[in-house]
Amino acid sequence: MSSSSFQSSEQYELDCQHLHNYLSGNGAINYQRLAEMFVYRNSHEFKFICQTYSALYGQNVLHVISNIQRNNPFARAAYLRMIEPRERDAEIVRNSLFGNGSSVNLNTLIEIACSRPSSELQCIKQVYRSRYNSDLEQDVTTEINSGFKEILMAILKSCRNYGGKADMSMAMCDAKTLYEAVESGRSVDQKTIISLISQRNSGQVKAILLSYKQLYGNEFSKSMKQSKCGQFGKELRIVIRCIQNPERFFAKQLRMKNADAREILIRIVITRSEIDIKDINRAFATKTGSSLENLVRREFNNNKDKANDIVAGILVGLVNRN
C-alpha cells in the first residue's frame, strides 16, 4: 500500500470515529471536524467511508443515519451527502410521490425531473425501477391528476434521447414549431408542444428556448403568459424555468414560506453544492438582498440543539466552498 493510500485509509477511519461517536453517543464529539467532513469529502470518498464504517463497527452507516433522519437535521444532511447521488434522487422522487400521504409533492418532483440532465434522469429512472420494482413513468401517471402529468411525462420520456451536442439547426425549426403552436390559433396547440418536449433531451430543449428568443425577441415562457394559454401555460412556465434557469427556480423555492423550509434548504444546498450553488446564491441575493449563508444561520443557529449547529456549519461550508 502506498503512503498516500495509507494516509487516506487512516483519514477515513478518523472520519468514521467522529461519526460513530456522534451516532452512538459514546466518546468525545468534535463538532467542527464532523461538519468539515461533510463539507470537503466528495461522493467517491463517502463510498469508502461507508465501507470503512462497516468494517470497523459492523453496521451500515446509511441505514443507521436513515433511521433517525426524520427528526434530526444533521442526520438528514449527512444522509443526503453520503448516499450515492442517483440513489438519493430516486429516493427523493419516490418520497415526493408516496411520502406525503394522499398528496404528491409536485415542486420536489419537478425539481428532480427538470433540473437534472437527461443522462442523469435516465439513470435515476433505472435506479428507481431497481430499488422499488416500479416504473417511474407509470407511477407519475397513476399518482398525478393535475395538468402537470402530461408535461412531466414528456420530460421523463425525453431523457431516453440523451447524448450528443445540441443541434442548432433543429432547434431553430423546433422554435418555429413552438411559435406556431402558441400564436397561430385561438387556443394553444398543447399536443404539439408536449410531443416536441417528449422527443428532445434537456440540452436540446435549452437550445430550442435560446433559438426562440433569438427568432422572436422574447422568452418562450413569456409567450405562455397569454390568457389563452390558461392553466397549461402556468404549469409549463414552471417547468421551463427549471430547465432553462435552474438557479432562479431553486432561489424561488428557497424564498417561499413553506412548512418544509428546512428540508428544502438542506436538500437544495446539498444536491446543488457541486453544480450551481454559487449561481443560486447570487439569484437568491438579487431577489432578497441577503445571502444563503444568512438564510442558513437564521434557520439553524437560533436553537441550542447541537445538531442544528452542525447543519449550519455544513451548509454554510458548502455554499462558500471554492
27 is in an annotated binding site: yes
Distances (CA, A) of 10 to 3, 5, 45, 60, 169: 10, 8, 13, 19, 54
Q: Are 201 and 161 in contact (CB under 8 A)?
A: yes
Site of grid cell 464532523: 34
CA distance 226 to 182: 9
58 is in an annotated binding site: no
C-alpha cell recorded at residue 132:
422499488
| Cα-trace Rg, the chain | 22
317 is in an annotated binding site: no
297 CB-side CA count, 13 A: 8
257 is in an annotated binding site: yes
Nearest to residue 312, comparing CAs of 38, 104, 12, 5? 38
User: Residues annotated in the binding site for Ca(2+), as ranges?
Assistant: 25, 27, 257, 299
Binding residues, by number, are: 25, 27, 257, 299
